[in-house]
Amino acid sequence: MGTYNIPRNVKGEGRILFVFSGKSMIYTMIGGALGLPLYFICSALRLTIVGIILIGVLALIGFAIGTFKIPTISLLKFTKKVGGENIDDIIKRAIMFKKNGSKIYISTKEEEK
C-alpha cells in the first residue's frame, strides 16, 4: 500500500484570534502605541473618551496597513503598477526611495534568443 498526502486548509492556522496575522498584530500594536501619547494629552485635558477613540483609530489604521493590499483599479495609473501588493511594502519602498535621494535604479536583463 502506498502513502497518500491528504491536502488540508492551513490558511487560518497562523492567525491570532482568527483576525490577526502576526504582521497585522504587530502593526496594530504599533498604531495603538502611537495613540498612547495622544490619549495622555487628551486625558490631561479631561477628554478621556476622545483619547480612547484616537487609540482605536490609530490601531485600526495599523491593522489596515498590515493586512490589506492595494486593489488594481484600471482608471488610476498608480494602482496599475502596484495593484495586489501589500500596503506596508509600498510604504517601505517609498521611505527607501526618499532615503536614497529620490533615485530609481533599474536593472535590465537581456533575453537570449
Of 30-34, 71-75, 94-98, 100-104, least confident by mean pLDDT is 100-104
- How far is the CA of 64 from the CAs of 59, 98, 103, 104, 106, in angstroms? 9, 23, 28, 28, 30
Check residue 32 and give its pLDDT: 92
- pLDDT bracket for residue 107 (50, 70, 90): low
Largest pairwise CA distance in the chain: 74
Question: In this structure, how many other beta carbons lie within 10 angstroms of the beta carbon of residue 74?
Answer: 8
To the question of pTM greater than 0.85 for the whole model, the response is no
Question: Cα(first)–Cα(last) distance of the chain, in Å?
Answer: 48
Three-state DSSP state, 104: coil
Q: What value does the mean pLDDT take over residues 29-56?
A: 93
| Strand ranges (E), 1-113 | 15-16, 20-21
Check residue 15 and give its pLDDT: 64
